[in-house]
Amino acid sequence: MRQGRLIATGAMLVFCLFALWQSLLLSLTDRLGPGPGFFPFWLALIGAVLAVALLVTTFREAADPSDAETRILPHGEGGKRWLAIVVLLAAVTVAMEYVGFRIAMLVFNAVLVVALGERRWWVIAVFSILGSVGVYYVFTTWLDVLLPVSPFGF
């Protein structure tokens, strides 16, 4: 846990330093007053100081015995479910551009519920169709929300 907090705070420090560098590329002041770089510069500077202070305090903290049992990254059966959600969400985002919302979401729903433990094929089929074609119809027809359509028009 402490190691994870140190890594996360370090990442935030890098983010703040990067923002600081980027803000220096913008003008801090101009003839009207503060420029586009003014607010981000001071924020990034404050953020960097806070990140360093947090790194120091976390580093000085006494190790908590329960920390050793706390795992930051997902693992075991739960980890597989976690990974399934992340990978499928990434896959459906890529797929929607090429095959449209309906087909991408049909496959996403079916694979996701199977990955999360469902085995009854007819329930999977009904849920997948309602969660893709049905949802598409409701959102595009009743709620006027545009959803991705494939280059082939479906």
Partner 1 sequence: MEALGHLLSGFAAALSWYYLLYAFVGCVLGTLIGVLPGLGPAAGTAILIPLTFSLDPTGAIIMLSAIYYGAMYGGTITSVLINVPGEAASVVTCIDGHQMARQGRAGSALGIAAIGSFVGGTLATVALVVVAMPLATLALKFGPAEFFALMVAGLCLVVGLAGKNILAALLMTVIGLLLALIGLDPVRGAPRFTFGIEELFDGIGFVPVVMGLFGVAELLLAAETRQTHMIQAELKSWMPTRQECKDSVGAIGRGTVVGFVLGLIPGVGAIVPTFMAYVLEKRVSKTPERFGKGAIEGVASAETANNAYANASMVPLLALGIPSSPTIAVLMGAFIINGITPGPFLFAEQPKLVWTVIASFFVGNVLLLILNLPLVGLWAKLLKIPFSYMCAGVLIFCVIGAYGLKQNLFDVWVMLGFGIIGYLLRKLDFPIAPAILALILGPMMEKSLRTTLEISGGSFAIFLDRPVALALLAIPVIVVGFLVFKPRSLAPLRESDAE
- Distance (Å, rounded) from C-alpha 37 to C-alpha 43? 10
C-beta of residue 74 within 8 angstroms of C-beta of residue 83: yes
Subset of residues 82 to 121 that bind partner 1, contact rule: CB under 8 A: 82, 84-86, 89-90, 92-93, 96-97, 105, 108-109, 112-113, 116-118
Q: Could you say whether residue 57 binds partner 1 (CB under 8 A)?
A: yes
State which of residues 107, 131, 133, 150 lies at the interface with partner 1 (CB under 8 A).
131
Which residue lies nearer to partner 1 by CB, 46 or 68? 46
* Residue of 14, 24, 53, 125 that binds partner 1 (CB under 8 A): 53
Length of the chain: 154
- Does 154 bind partner 1 (CB under 8 A)? Our answer is no
Q: Which of 142, 38, 20, 84 is nearest to 134 (CA)?
A: 142
Closest approach of partner 1 to the CB of residue 153, in Å: 17
Out of 22, 24, 63, 121, point to the residue binding partner 1 (CB under 8 A).
22
Is 1 a binder of partner 1 (CB under 8 A)? yes
List interacting residues with partner 1 (CB under 8 A). Answer: 1, 4-5, 8-9, 12, 15-16, 19, 22-23, 26, 29-30, 32-40, 43-44, 46-47, 50-51, 53-54, 57, 70, 72, 74, 78-79, 81-82, 84-86, 89-90, 92-93, 96-97, 105, 108-109, 112-113, 116-118, 127, 131, 135, 139, 142-148
